[in-house]
Amino acid sequence: MSSAELLILPLAVAAAAYALWRLSFSQLWAILIPALVGLSYVGMSRLGLAQPQAASSAIFLFAYVIIASEKVHKTKVALAGAGVMLLFGLIDQRTALHGSEDVEGTDWNTIFLLIGMMIIVSITRHTGVFQWIAIKAAKLAKGRPVLIIIFLCIVTAILSAGLDNVTTVLLIAPVTILICESLVVDPVPFLIFVILASNIGGTATLIGDPPNIMIGSSARLGFMDFLKVDGPIAFVILLVYLGTVWLTFRNRIKVKEQDRLRIMEFDETKAITDKRLLVRCGVVIGLVLFGFGVHAQWHLEPATIALCGAAALLLMRRGDPEETLKEVEWPTIFFFVGLFIMVSALVKTGVVRLIGQGIIDVTCGPDVTGGLDPSQRMYLTFGVCWFSAIASGIVDNIPFVATMNAVIHDMAISLHPLGASGNFFEVAHAKDILPLWWALSLGACLGGNFTLVGASANVVVAGIAERSKHPISFVRFMKYGIPITLQGIALSTVYLWLVFLRAA
């Protein structure tokens, strides 16, 4: 290490420790986290990493730990990390925002797809249709708890696939609590089952879960690709999950007859507040979903279709668009921007290439010139799937997928250098690369069910539950989440082998 580094590093550690202490971290963690990151920087420098590589890795690791701690809002951390990367010249602004030959930069297709869908859902929710669906499901179940769970899970999974899982749980969770309070039963198991169903349903489509949006954009995979590949296994996993719920809980939750009859007295028609707007939203959503299905043939990005749908509903709805735009989850949007910039810096400095090469060496050995043989392809695919599931349970699956996207992208180019100068679509869809994208999708989306912090939908429902004085504990969630996740990943492993690896 140079004398300048020896001077700057202790100052940076001290400044970070003071900042964490001011942000309500305990004194121990405020000192320990920056110290460990500082030591990791020293260790990486000793291992031969260049200064930009060690610095970008240390900054990203520090941001990752703070995001995982949930002590500071993840948007603040992501934007701060991006700012530091830019400030220290680890990546320039033009490359960070627009990309270059070797760096993808900020994925604006993902950003604007999210914004478009958020606007569409924001307007639709004012019709009351989501509440109508939840109440109707409870009445179809005749107020019987296990059937209510199953119907709510089915509704949640379908809406998560067609819209997105975060918005779905935001709408379904409050109605679930209302139903449970009417039945005089603990709503926590019901809420956990809704979370698990939302992540399973969101796995099925491009727009169902933010990680899929990111993977689709990076791997050049469209809406129909996800529906054809992820859709069938998500459907099977959902059926097995519902069967597990039925077998486990059919006799465990008891309600009184008068409480069950109270559910039957609910009038779902009162939930619909604007029938005219509901019809318009139904037409626009139908056209948007149709557009997603044919966007490749029309040579349009999904973001373009989503933005057109959002613009159409804004024009159809009376009043100032300001209120609608306020309901867009802007913190989530800026979290993605900050995240993309940080990951772009890791790509620019060569850290992602080192990670990708390390994964290849561990799973396949050093001799992979010209592509992977069948056994290497199987080990690497299964490794990505299970590692993604476990990692997504430890940290939010969105930053994990942002990192792994870049790793697989670089891995594809390193394994197929002759195709790297041409069309990346051919490289990304090579026989030994394509299964990795699907392994990442299934592992990350289903792995979000491992823990309470594994996916954004989990955190959203946990917040709603806590405000309603029905907190979901970390351990209690894991009692439900771990078996269901292992069940889903095991089925996904078999599915990946059958679809991509059996004939190899």
With cut-offs at 50, 70 and 90, classify the pLDDT of residue 503. low
Rounding to the nearest 10 degrees, give the CA dihedral for residues 394, 399, 403, 404.
60
45-51 long-range contacts (CB < 8 A, ≥24 apart) are: 45/1, 45/5, 49/351, 49/354, 50/349, 50/350, 51/5
Can you give the pLDDT at residue 385?
93
Is the pLDDT higher at 139 or at 154? Answer: 154
Q: Compute the distance between CA of residue 122 and CA of residue 171 in angstroms, rounded to an integer.
A: 10
- % of the chain beyond a pLDDT of 70: 89
Segment 421-473, tens digit of pLDDT: 556 778 888 888 899 999 999 999 999 998 887 887 887 888 788 878 888 88
Contact status, residue 443 vs residue 392, Cβ threshold 8 Å: yes
With cut-offs at 50, 70 and 90, classify the pLDDT of residue 319. confident
Tell me the whole-structure pTM to 2 decimals. Answer: 0.79
What lies within 8 Å, CB to CB, of 91 at 6+ separation is 85, 103, 341, 344, 345, 348, 349
Straight-line distance from the first to the last Cα atom of the chain, in angstroms, rounded to the nearest whole number: 48
Segment 95-130, tens digit of pLDDT: 988 888 777 788 888 788 888 888 988 898 888 887
Can you give the pLDDT at residue 413?
81
CA distances for 95 relative to 77, 119, 338, angstroms? 21, 29, 13
Q: Compute the distance between CA of residue 134 and CA of residue 155 in angstroms, rounded to an integer.
A: 7
- The predicted model gives 178-207 an average pLDDT of 91
- The predicted model gives 242-265 an average pLDDT of 84
